[in-house]
Amino acid sequence: MTKNIEEFKKLTDAEEYFKFFELEYDPKLVNVNRLHILKKFSQFISEIDSNSELSNEEKLNQYSLALQQAYQTFLESSPQEQKLFKVFKDKPKNVITLTELTSD
């Protein structure tokens, strides 16, 4: 089956992306980090799409690599470390970190 951009644009689930690109993945890791993987993947896609000189075939190849990279990110890191979503960027209120304490 030949892959094309139109088919890619119809995909919605993380698992569908992995199957489309014929990439192996751990369903448990995807279940736990689904939104984070897809968010990172979408950031990579935005970067790829900003290069208007790529053919659709080249884009699909880049997308496949981007999905692998997004997945790999969460094999090696946590959502808290990546801070992709606002909830991880905001500093909690009424909390003083040890680094903020100074001795007089």
Instruction: Check residue 6 and give its pLDDT.
Output: 93
Q: Are the beta carbons of 44 and 66 closer than 8 angstroms? A: yes
What integer is the mean pLDDT of 74-90? Answer: 58
Number of H helices, E strands in the chain: 6, 0
pLDDT bin (cut points 50, 70, 90) of residue 9 is very high
Instruction: Check residue 36 and give its pLDDT.
Output: 86
Provide the residue ranges of all domains of the chain, joining segments of one domain with +.
5-100
Two structure tokens written together for 101: 């304490």
Instruction: Check residue 74 and give its pLDDT.
Output: 81
Instruction: Check residue 76 and give its pLDDT.
Output: 76
Two structure tokens written together for 92: 């909690």
pTM beyond 0.75: the answer is no
